[in-house]
């Protein structure tokens, strides 16, 4: 394989063998990533903090260790980014807020510890919607993130900086957070892969909380195989996080290329196809047809109570977020962005009765979904009902009905945060104006392997993941 192209545009699974065989060095790769950052970051604004000096020092250390025969695995020498909700020792973690603009902790989040142990190179902390509480990434303190496919459009959120950085090849992979869809909807908007694992599969210790019962670590990558490789590192029990499961972690890449012949694929015709942009519906229907051609067996299903997911999600998140932010809100309310402050103050008005009713409803939705999963291997649906919208746009019209951007971005993803199921967003086409469209694949709890296998089968049979924004050729010559 030629390595003369821009290395920053390659996936982990392509770069790792080149690093291992010493055809390229971590220093060379990291330098190319920073060339890309320097070229496109003024346009995209994906980063809050860039760590060039430290990253290059780490790249030299990785190169030395690999030359000494101490290769740590596929992420050794790979430049990655972190959503700025994830705490890092000696490096500021702002959570995208003026309140924490200079906040520096003396420890790494558990996922950062594992990534460092795997040899990954941190190139920077990425822009996000303030305190991860929103869907547009229109950050008032650090500026909005721009979608690499069209700079006038949002990248989705709240992990929009991380998704935009991967899409624009400003890092090879990134770690975000997903509470109601905050990894999958930006992955959809930016034309990349986004994986929300099972709720208690990966530790959130050291991640600034939004909603303790919903927050999930999320992965943003260029390919499905890269998502599997990343999950392999961050998955597993963490003694510092009581919510993590002690279940053994399987080899997520084993069997990922086995195909999907005979798998039962559930298609939820209610809710997910009731109010949807016509282009999104067409691309998703084509994706389902492709899965059928690959040997999967389509099964029409109905998801009971799913239409109540958005209200249930908002009640739980608003209440829990207000609890988390109570001391900050009491002392620095004026420093919050207006939208986030409104959400938090709305959460303060929720009664314990409403919160408990929402949690009971959540149990009902979870039970309904678990029941459906007894009859299918995965569920496939759109990730979001429309492509990205323009920066500053507050609402969208879908099939003649106006709804807020936040409702639209989270409507199809939040049911699976309530249930805690693994969910994968994969590119499945483009709108007529060149914006990405995404397919969502949902599995049984702790069955990420099947979700990844279906995603990989679709990816291997289509071209969508290999198409990159024009920005990625900006330094090609």
Within 10 Å of residue 96's Cβ, how many Cβ atoms?
35
Q: Directed axis angle between helix 26-44 and helix 52-67, to 10°? A: 160
Q: Which residues of 270-280 are buried (b: 16+ CB within 10 A; e: fewer)?
A: ebbbeebbebb
Largest CA distance in the chain: 63
Within 68-123, where are the H helices? 110-117
Dihedral over Cα of 63, 64, 68, 70: its sign: negative
How far apart, in whole angstroms, are the C-alpha atoms of residue 406 and residue 156? 9
Cα–Cα distance for residue pair 54/433, rounded to 1 Å: 39
User: What sections of 174-308 are H helices per DSSP?
Assistant: 184-190, 224-234, 278-293
Among 20, 103, 93, 11, smallest CA distance to 62 is for 20
Looking at residue 97, what DSSP letter applies?
-
Q: What is the set of active-site residues?
A: 83, 158, 182
CA distance 194 to 202: 15
Helix, strand, coil share (%) of the chain residues, nearest 5: 40, 20, 40
Measured CA to CA, the distance from residue 161 to residue 184 in angstroms comes to: 13
Q: Where are the alpha helices (DSSP H) in 68-137?
A: 110-117
Judge contact between 218 and 383, C-beta under 8 A.
no
- What's the Cα-to-Cα distance from 45 to each of 41, 147, 167, 473, rounded to whole Å? 5, 9, 13, 18
Residue 84: C-alpha distances to residues 132, 163, 354 (Å): 9, 13, 31
What angle (nearest 5°) sits at the alpha carbon of residue 435, between those of residues 430 and 437?
50
């Amino acid at each position: 394989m030629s390595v003369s192209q821009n290395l920053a545009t390659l996936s982990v699974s392509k770069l790792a063998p080149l690093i291992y065989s010493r055809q390229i060095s971590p220093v060379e790769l990291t330098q190319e990533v920073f060339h890309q950052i320097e070229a496109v970051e003024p346009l995209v604004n994906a980063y809050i903090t860039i760590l060039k000096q430290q990253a290059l020092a780490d790249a030299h250390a990785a190169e030395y260790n690999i030359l000494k025969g101490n290769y740590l695995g596929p992420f050794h020498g790979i430049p990655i980014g972190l959503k700025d909700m994830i705490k890092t020792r000696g490096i500021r973690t702002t959570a995208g807020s003026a309140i924490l603009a200079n906040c520096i902790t003396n420890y790494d989040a558990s996922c950062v510890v594992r990534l460092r142990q795997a040899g990954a190179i941190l190139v920077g902390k990425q822009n996000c919607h303030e305190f991860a509480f929103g869907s547009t990434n229109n950050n008032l303190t650090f500026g909005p993130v721009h979608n690499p496919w069209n700079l006038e459009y949002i990248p989705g959120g709240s992990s929009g900086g991380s998704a935009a950085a991967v899409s624009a090849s400003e890092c090879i992979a990134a770690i975000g957070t997903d509470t109601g869809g905050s990894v999958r909807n930006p992955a959809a908007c930016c034309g990349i892969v986004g994986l929300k694992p099972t709720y208690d599969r990966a530790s959130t210790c050291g991640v600034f909380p939004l909603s303790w019962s919903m927050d999930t670590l999320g992965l943003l990558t260029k390919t499905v195989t890269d998502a599997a490789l990343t999950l392999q590192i961050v998955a597993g029990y963490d003694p510092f996080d009581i919510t993590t499961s002690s279940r053994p972690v399987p080899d997520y890449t084993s069997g990922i290329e086995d195909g999907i012949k005979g798998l039962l694929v559930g298609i939820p015709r209610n809710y997910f196809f009731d109010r949807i942009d016509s282009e999104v519906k067409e691309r998703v229907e084509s994706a389902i047809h492709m899965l059928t051609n690959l040997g999967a067996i389509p099964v029409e299903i109905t998801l009971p109570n799913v239409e109540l997911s958005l209200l249930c999600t908002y009640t739980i998140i608003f209440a829990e977020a207000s609890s988390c932010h109570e001391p900050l809100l009491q002392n620095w309310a004026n420093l919050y962005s207006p939208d986030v402050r409104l959400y938090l103050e709305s959460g303060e008005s929720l009664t314990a009765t409403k919160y408990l009713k929402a949690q009971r409803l959540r149990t009902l939705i979870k039970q309904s979904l678990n029941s459906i999963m007894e009859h299918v291997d995965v569920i496939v649906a759109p990730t979001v009902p429309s492509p990205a919208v323009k920066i500053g746009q507050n609402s969208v019209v879908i099939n003649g009905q106006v709804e807020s951007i936040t409702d639209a971005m989270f409507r199809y993803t939040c049911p699976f945060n309530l249930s805690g199921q693994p969910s994968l967003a994969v590119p499945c086409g483009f709108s007529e104006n060149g914006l990405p469209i995404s397919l969502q694949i949902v599995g049984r709890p702790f069955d990420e392997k099947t979700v990844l296998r279906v995603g990989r089968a679709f990816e291997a049979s289509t071209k969508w993941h290999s198409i990159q924004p024009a920005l990625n050729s900006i330094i090609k010559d």
